[in-house]
């Protein structure tokens, strides 16, 4: 994982879903360990030979983080981010 800059925030993988609107699109959601902020990545699966690893954590610029307003979702994201942090190194391929 590249060096983290001062504006980067460590976020942990909390959800992986497939888009209903687009074929071959995976949505990766990473969140802070308190569940208050999230970072979303979309990946197109262009071919089986296109290898792009999904890691347990990512470093996201603070300007690219969204706010989780739903208390239930915030609690779920916090629990999963904390679990990921406790059981994986940031560079672990998930």
| Secondary structure (H, E, C), 28-73 | EEEECCCCCEEEEEEEECCCCCCCCCCECEEEEEHHHCEECCCHHH
Exposure pattern of 28-63 as b/e (b: 16+ CB <10 Å)? bbbbbbebebbbebeeeeeeeeeeeeebbbbbbeee
The predicted-structure confidence for 56-74, as pLDDT tens digits, reads as follows 999 999 999 999 999 999 9
pTM for this prediction: 0.84
Task: Write down the domain spans for the chain.
Answer: 8-87
The predicted-structure confidence for 2-41, as pLDDT tens digits, reads as follows 455 568 999 999 999 987 766 778 899 999 999 999 999 9
């Amino acid at each position: 994982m590249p060096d983290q800059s001062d504006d980067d925030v460590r976020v942990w993988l909390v959800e992986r879903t497939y888009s209903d609107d687009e074929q071959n699109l995976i949505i990766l959601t990473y969140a802070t360990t308190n569940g208050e902020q999230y970072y979303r990545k979309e990946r197109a699966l262009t071919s089986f030979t296109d290898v792009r690893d999904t890691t347990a954590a990512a470093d996201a610029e603070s300007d690219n983080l969204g706010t989780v307003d739903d208390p239930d979702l915030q609690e779920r994201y916090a629990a999963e981010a904390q679990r990921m942090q406790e059981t994986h190194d940031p560079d672990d391929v998930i």
